Amino acid sequence: MKRFVLGEFEEPYACVDAVRRLRESGVGGLDAYSPHPLPGIEDALLLPRSKVPLVALTGGVLGALGGYAMQWYLNSVAYPITVGNRPQHGFWTNIPITFESGVLLAVLSIFFGSIFGFFQLPRTYHPVFESERFRTASLDKCWVSAETEDEAALEELERKFREVGAHKVHSVAESV
């Protein structure tokens, strides 16, 4: 069963510093919660670079290629019509739909890739939401959580949280 130790911090910079110090002391499974973006928290948590640009590029290129291939097939193979003695397939006439197909697929891949791939939504429950004190994470306080499966490590984690300056420290367990 997973257990989470939660620590509340008054100041954003204290929270970032605490995450850095906890990580350096060997605490794993760290996460941070705050009502606003915390500058430097990505570096403190050692988060990897975002994969969203790669997803957008892949979706855009596939959308553009698909849009162009669709136009080529329809204009040259399936329904060849000669209008004004022009060739059945002209590169420049296909650019608008090719561009729009690329943009559409890039946006859709970002949206659905982020929701289902990166964020693993819909996720309606997280064990830290069981804590009544955690409500301040959406109002004015910064919180740090550490995940563990070892019940014996809870006291040590709580002590480490107090050492780095957490005002309130408590733990919650995942209910099965």
pLDDT number for residue 128: 84
Question: What is the CATH number assigned to the segment(s) 3-49+127-173?
Answer: 3.30.70
pLDDT class for 176, splitting at 50, 70, 90? low
Q: Do residues 29 and 128 touch, judged by C-beta distance below 8 A?
A: no
* Mean local confidence (pLDDT), 73-95: 84
pTM of the entire structure?
Answer: 0.71
Q: Which residue has the higher pLDDT, 103 or 133?
A: 103
* Mean local confidence (pLDDT), 37-43: 91
Domain boundaries, the chain: 3-49+127-173, 52-118
pLDDT class for 80, splitting at 50, 70, 90? confident
pLDDT number for residue 84: 80
Q: Is the pLDDT of residue 45 over 70?
A: yes
pLDDT number for residue 146: 92
- How do residues 108-156 score in pLDDT, each as one tens digit? 999 998 888 877 777 777 788 878 888 888 888 899 999 988 888 888 9
